[in-house]
Structure 1
Amino acid sequence: MSTPLLFFFFFFLTSFPLYSLQTAFIASIYNDHNSRLYSISVNLKTPLRPASLHLDLGGAFSWIDCYKNYNSSSYQFVINNTPLADSFGQGIGSTCVEVPSSMCSNDTVNTIFSFGYPEKPSIRDQFVDYFHPELTDSESLITDVLALSTPDGSKSGLLRRTPEFPFACVKTNFLRGLAKNVIGLAALGRSNLSIPSVISAKFNSPKFFAICLPGARSGPGVAIFGSKGPYRFSPNVDLSKSLTYTPLVFNPVSGSIYTYWLPSYEYYVGLSAIRINGKVVPFNTSLLPFESIHGRGGAKISTSTNYGLLQSSIYRAFATVFMKEAAVLNFKLINAVEPFGVCYAAKSVGVTAEGHAKAPVVDLVMEKGKVVWKLGGRNTMVRIKKKGVDAWCLGFINGGEFPRTPIVIGGLQMEDHLLQFDLEKFRFGFSSSALTEGTSCSKFQLQFYQQQFPLNNFREKFGLNFKFG
């Protein structure tokens, strides 16, 4: 580097705050029209290839299909009894396996590689017999390249690689039940192996991530890793300004059947009450404290659940109050459409300019009323058109008498709300509906980040081409 360039470089370092050298990692989030599940768009392997992974807020570690067309020059098996292998917490080792197979050469036949038990998100919501669990097959643990967009002032940004990112392998049939075209799962849980944690550790970025889930018929939403904000959406709306925070609550018992002795990797909030149009839903709040053996209880935030799930007695109380308030609006009840329990004739339900139901307002109350997350018809009702039926249905479902988690805040409730997970102060931030701010989750524009990262402006102004990392 020449002397003038060094001068400008050090002038830059002393003239801008340190955060300007930190990099946000950006990925698009898609809503599958059929499954109503969410996936995140990333790039994997060497050479890089685009890939779609199921978005799982509660996952401890990511996994991908290694058995179908897995070709990469950068993957490596995880060696057993190494710090990375130990961090998976499953302690299984064996010699070389069939796939990926290019490393299974003569000089590795005596090497002990690490194995783990990847699991689907649905397993965490089921009660299991820990002494006789139905285990998935043990699978290889590998590392490979994961790349996400980073801001450079353009609409698409630059791809930045995260080398040696940890994954578990799965067989192709393990993807059954997830959205079409996904090849694995992106874990965002409270674990050192999740995508937010690995990015933070490798790039010394803030332990923050945010997601903004899109509606089923809108464009992609966005996931932002390693940035505290601002989070700007067209037309230049910073949704971080409307964030309200509440502490994250941690379940002392994991929902995993393989690491049940550890605290949960999922995200819970301290929900204390539910109101509909200001009317308190009368339910047994003793269901909410965590039970110490199996971890039953709490109110969970889940991207792997399409709609809100409520324990049966909570659901009945909720539906009763909702129907009373809907009757005031002259909603006409019709036969319910599975999986929903309450539906109304579409002609009787008023709609907003955006085409969402004008429904009773649902308040999720936290911190004894100090914090309230308001949900309008966009996040509480679902339009169903099929087989001659045109209905608006209540987007909360009866979760059964004995679910592990009595209240699950599902994907529908989160759509078009910016959600921030602050893993430094262990708090959860949620915005008001982006629609009320004149924008939506599908209107995030990467070039707005040029304002936050003056390094790019500096490079352009002085014609410099140096890169970091």
Structure 2
Amino acid sequence: MAISSSFFPLVFLCCLFFIVTWSVAKTSPRPILQVTKDAKTLQYVTQVSQRTPLVHVKLTLDLGGQLMWVNCERGLTSSSISYPMCGSPQCQLLNAPSCLSQCFHIPSPLCTNKSCASTAINTIGSSAATYAPINGDVLKIQSTDGKGVTVPRFYFACGNDMTTNNNLASGVTGMAGLGRTVMSLPAQLSSYFKFDRKFTLCLSSSTTSSGVVFFGDGPYTLHPNVNVSSSLSYTPLIINPYNYTIYGDAFPFYYIGVKSIKINNKRVSTFDESLLSINAHGYGGTAISTTDPYTVLETSIYLALVEAFVNAMPKNVERVPFVPPFGACFSSKNIASTSRGPDVPFIDLVLQSNNVWRIFGANSMVRVNNDVLCLGFVERSPLTLLPIVSVKIGGHQIEDNLLKFDLKNSKLGFSSSLLGRSTSCANFNFTYPA
């Protein structure tokens, strides 16, 4: 049978349409956050735009935070704000069963009659929390094409002066929660933009150059054209199922399974390794935090780590008086520098997957002055609020490491230090399409 002469052009056009559509879908802009380390507080700070007309809002990044909250007590004016009502489908989807039944003043974003509510929690330091009404409003954040993307109704909680608590970085009026909840930034962005629930954290160690949070899948390219997502190791993400009323759900923190700790390939064995697992009361385990500047360890783990690290240091490195909050400090005179920081014993977290998260000198040591380097791990306070975590991996230990939180497959991808690959988390170009 003869084929019409118009058939082949038609097939060509269909194929071209498919290729272009696939290419556009593949390269569609992804939401991102530009993250800067505050020099005074060591908090990781980002900025979003909210409301109508748009207002810039600075927020402290909280990896384990259940939602985004802002201080509404100083006034919040917007022509596009909405208040989901108690029992509505929105409240049910947001897992916000609490209800504000009566306001004792004129209804406002801080109190709207019969709207659903959650909890705004400031997780910095001693923490502060308040019963917080849920509001929906326009949210605009940066994107990989440099143009920005908008969510017309993004749900957030209204905190107040108590939750701001005078301990947030200068100009910050709330927190951006990235935790394992339906109201977190990753959850709402993935729901609106229809991508898999994944996000990637890359914090800069510099206070003058920014790191980045990518929402959605990779690849992630840093200068000089390094695809940092191509060689990640993976380990399962673990859920702490224990329920505390303040969260109304399982803990939103990201836990990983650490089986043991080694220093220079020698196991640290002078503590009870069962502390590395979550017990029946929800205590213990290993979580990752952006609101703790340094890794926080349960006392027996901390003492064992410090002792093993001191013993592993070369004999020509002098130990000097400690500088709070650190318990082990050294003269930097005989410590050489490498591409991955000070040349000191490396620390391995041996994971449930049998992969190893190796911590090199740039992430294990803190320079307190020109002559002194300290081991950048601290002892957990006896006054620690719930949940009580045995190992909380802090900001300093994850700087210039790529961490991919894959909620769809419940796993964490990690790179260890990017410095050995001649790049860092400060090398993302926010003005050029990724």
Whether TM exceeds 0.5 here: the answer is yes
Aligned equivalent of 2:393 = 409
The CA distance in 2 between the partners of 1:78 and 1:252, in whole Å, is: 28
Matches within 5 A, 1:112-261: 112-122=114-124, 136-152=129-145, 157-175=146-164, 176-226=166-216, 228-254=217-243, 256-259=244-247
**What is the aligned counterpart of 2:344 among 352, 356, 359?**
359
The CA distance in 2 between the partners of 1:358 and 1:276, in whole Å, is: 13
Distance 1:8 1:211, change over 3 A: farther
Q: Provide runs of 4+ in structure 1 moved above 6 Å.
A: 7-10
User: Is 1:284 matched up with 2:284?
Assistant: no
* Counterpart contact for 2:339–2:420, Cα < 8 Å: no
**What is the aligned counterpart of 1:336 among 311, 322, 325?**
322
Distance 1:65 1:358, change over 3 A: same
User: Is 1:298 matched up with 2:285?
Assistant: yes
1:199 shift after superposition: 0.8
What is the aligned-residue identity percentage? 34
1:257 shift after superposition: 4.4
Secondary structure in structure 2 of the residue aligned to 1:230: coil
Amino acid at match of 1:25: P
Aligned equivalent of 1:396 = 377
Q: Deviations 1:255-293 (Å, cap 9, x if unpaired)?
A: x54236x32211011100111111111121111222223
Relative to its length, the structure with more strand (as a share) is 2
1:218 shift after superposition: 4.3
Amino acid at match of 2:118: G
**What is the aligned counterpart of 2:22 among 17, 20, 39?**
17
* Counterpart contact for 1:310–1:399, Cα < 8 Å: yes
* Counterpart contact for 1:417–1:432, Cα < 8 Å: yes
TM-score normalised by structure 1 residue count:
0.82
* Counterpart contact for 1:232–1:445, Cα < 8 Å: no
Distance 1:314 1:118, change over 3 A: same
1:99 shift after superposition: 7.8
The CA distance in 2 between the partners of 1:205 and 1:100, in whole Å, is: 36
* Counterpart contact for 2:339–2:419, Cα < 8 Å: no
User: Is 1:63 matched up with 2:69?
Assistant: yes
The CA distance in 2 between the partners of 1:429 and 1:138, in whole Å, is: 35
Secondary structure in structure 1 of the residue aligned to 2:350: strand
1:10 shift after superposition: 9.0
* Counterpart contact for 1:221–1:441, Cα < 8 Å: yes
Amino acid at match of 2:33: A
The CA distance in 2 between the partners of 1:37 and 1:215, in whole Å, is: 11
* Counterpart contact for 1:76–1:103, Cα < 8 Å: no
Q: Number of matched residues? A: 416
1:97 shift after superposition: 6.4
Q: Deviations 1:151-184 (Å, cap 9, x if unpaired)?
A: 33xxxx1121112111111113422222222111
TM-score normalised by structure 2 residue count:
0.88
Amino acid at match of 1:149: Q
* Counterpart contact for 2:86–2:97, Cα < 8 Å: no
The CA distance in 1 between the partners of 2:265 and 2:110, in whole Å, is: 62
Aligned equivalent of 2:44 = 38
Q: Deviations 1:345-367 (Å, cap 9, x if unpaired)?
A: 2334333368x322211111112
User: Is 1:434 matched up with 2:418?
Assistant: yes
Distance 1:208 1:449, change over 3 A: farther
1:20 shift after superposition: 2.1
Distance 1:21 1:44, change over 3 A: same
Distance 1:14 1:36, change over 3 A: same
Distance 1:34 1:173, change over 3 A: same
Q: Deviations 1:414-449 (Å, cap 9, x if unpaired)?
A: 000111011111100011312111111011124665
User: Is 1:49 matched up with 2:55?
Assistant: yes
Aligned equivalent of 2:335 = 349
The CA distance in 2 between the partners of 1:400 and 1:136, in whole Å, is: 19
The CA distance in 2 between the partners of 1:445 and 1:216, in whole Å, is: 15
Amino acid at match of 2:247: T
Relative to its length, the structure with more helix (as a share) is 1
**C-alpha RMSD of the superposition:** 2.7
The CA distance in 1 between the partners of 2:420 and 2:52, in whole Å, is: 43
1:150 shift after superposition: 2.2
The CA distance in 2 between the partners of 1:440 and 1:421, in whole Å, is: 19
Secondary structure in structure 2 of the residue aligned to 1:138: strand
Distance 1:17 1:200, change over 3 A: same
* Counterpart contact for 2:262–2:348, Cα < 8 Å: yes
Distance 1:80 1:392, change over 3 A: same
Secondary structure in structure 1 of the residue aligned to 2:397: helix
Amino acid at match of 2:327: G
Unaligned runs of at least 5 residues, structure 2: 1-11
Amino acid at match of 1:304: T
The CA distance in 2 between the partners of 1:353 and 1:21, in whole Å, is: 33
